[in-house]
Amino acid sequence: MGRNTRKRRTPLATKAIAASAALALGGGGLIWANFYASAHESNAGQNQTKAATATVATISCPDVGQKLTSVPSGATNGVAKELANLDKQITEAYARLASTRQAQTNDASFVQNAIVGPLKEKRAATIDRIRIDIQRVGGTFDSRLSQLSACTTQTANQTNAGGGNNGQGNNGQNGNGQNGNGQNGQNGNGQNGNGQNGGGQATAAPSDPAAGGNIGGQAGNGPVAADFVDITKVQRNVAAKPRAKRGGSTGTFTTRCGVNTNKNHNTDNVIVAPGVTNGAHHLHDYTGNQKVNAFSTNDTFLQGGTSCANKSDLSSYYWPVVRVQDGTQDFDQNADGGGKEGNVGKILTPIKSELTYVGSPTSKVVAMPQFLRIITGDAKTTTNGLANANAHWSCTGFENKVQLTEQYPICPQGSNVVRLFSFQSCWDGQNTDSANHRSHVAFADAAGNCGNGFKAIPQLTARLVYKITPPVVQNGVVKNAYAVDGFPEQLHKAATDHDDFISVTTNGLANKIANCINRGQRCQ
């Protein structure tokens, strides 16, 4: 906290994220960021998170993976590992940024010379290895990717999510309400308003530099008070879904796969970082397929067993865990992807999980191809911006009225927190994945139509419900903050939430799902 300025001799591995930092920005002026003590501190149980709208800083690096549009099959594994190296380099640089307070105090050029500069060199070498991997098998490398090695530092109010994009939409990425949960994409029409409060967000108090700056979450990297909003004070922002037309597909298929009560967790991500342990740098809940990790293959998926009631559904449904920062140390407090990387607090298990496939309002759907991989949302919106943000937060009793992307809701008494996801519902008809894990699928337009060359597929929607004691924001401090796990430099912003899916079915289930939806039936 601001008053805790003594030196500590905690090892870097467990202390780095929670340390104090000073960032050299722009022309060399110092902006202080004094982070909250780690969960090992004696006062961690107070769980007080103070707004850091002007001081808590992070590292912003271009997302190379999002710019890759084509990778030859022979280079896929090598490129994936190098992309994972880029993520690892950023997390290491962020940890160093947060652990070098004294050095930054003594030398205004320390951040540039000792952190940002070396990071650029490492990234340049890694991007060059990507080039070599692609060209070695005869592929074409876009030379513009070589220009993405440089990173910058940001203050919290410079980030691209969590209060810095007033009223920004998302370029049509999220389907404008054509999904089965009544969501309307990013909304941009009242959700964000002025700093996203739509009419009544609790305003964070300014920091007091003399007192050591702001507090940024139990681990020092968020959330902050400005990341929460009283949902009862947000204007209605959910638009009506497109009406189904003649020839549309109006049925639904529900699969019941549980809420991960068996604690099937890991910090891998087999879609984005196959073959890389801790490729996600945060913890996932897994339902459905029970043998999913970095080293899983299509063959092992078929042997994985399932938590789903329908044993023909071997699909993998996984998402970042939600934690409440109440001072609790969970099992991964000292582990990679957990406390070592700023993901701290008690892991919450949903009290309800609803996975439903819905149809298209304008056409019939075709069956999902086996092993189709889809990611909805973006784990890096704090630095990437909101173009691919697609998670929505709400409260029971409010889902048809208010859904948030850039803030976590504070729900009224008796209401539970809800996470809502709607996956892309248009498929290119050929590929089960793509180099950037997005190009092979797309969202329908505002009327529900797929673009040229794309076919409508059953749209997976997910609804997760959590029983969470409502956080209390008072005088810029939030008690009992909760947040989704994420990359440490992404500051636990609500907009970084995302969901992953791998379609694996047997006994003709994919066709059964499509046929049920096309006939307008309600199946499970």
Query: Within its chain, how far is the Cα of 108 from the centroid?
Result: 33
Give the torsion through C-alpha atoms of 119, 121, 122, 126, to 10 deg: 130
Of residues 481 and 31, the one with the higher pLDDT is 481
Range with the poorest average pLDDT among 16-30, 258-272, 341-355, 445-459: 16-30
Q: What is the pLDDT of residue 98?
A: 85
Complete DSSP assignment for 69-108: ----GGGHHHHHHHHHHHHHHHHHHHHHHHH-HHHHHH-T
Of residues 289 and 175, the one with the higher pLDDT is 289
**pTM tops 0.75, yes or no:** yes
Mean predicted confidence (pLDDT) in 65-70: 91
Of residues 69 and 204, the one with the higher pLDDT is 69
Q: Indicate if the pLDDT at residue 219 is higher than 50.
A: yes
- Identify the band that residue 154 occupies on the pLDDT scale cut at 50, 70 and 90: confident
Average pLDDT along the chain: 82
Mean predicted confidence (pLDDT) in 206-225: 58
Report pLDDT digits (tens) over 440-477: 999 999 999 999 999 999 999 999 999 999 999 888 88
Instruction: Quote the CA–CA distance of 169 and 187 in Å, as a whole number.
Output: 6
Instruction: Quote the CA–CA distance of 431 and 374 in Å, as a whole number.
Output: 11
Q: What is the pLDDT of residue 158?
A: 61
Range with the poorest average pLDDT among 70-84, 184-198, 217-231: 184-198
Helix-helix angle 117-136:76-99, to 10 degrees: 180
Report pLDDT digits (tens) over 232-244: 999 999 988 888 8
Please state whether 441 falls in left (phi above 0), alpha (psi between -120 and 50) or beta.
beta
> Percentage of residues in the chain with pLDDT exceeding 70?
77
Instruction: Quote the CA–CA distance of 52 and 213 in Å, as a whole number.
Output: 8
Could you tell me which of 289, 227, 292, 280 has the C-alpha nearest to residue 258? Answer: 289
What is the residue extent of each domain of the chain? 12-158
Instruction: Quote the CA–CA distance of 33 and 216 in Å, as a whole number.
Output: 9
Instruction: Quote the CA–CA distance of 330 and 314 in Å, as a whole number.
Output: 29
Task: Give backbone dihedrals phi and psi of 189, rounded to 5 degrees, phi first.
Answer: -130, 45
Report pLDDT digits (tens) over 263-315: 999 999 999 999 999 999 999 999 999 999 999 999 999 999 999 999 999 99
Q: What is the pLDDT of residue 39?
A: 32
Containing 435, the helix (H) or strand (E) segment is none
Mean predicted confidence (pLDDT) in 396-422: 97
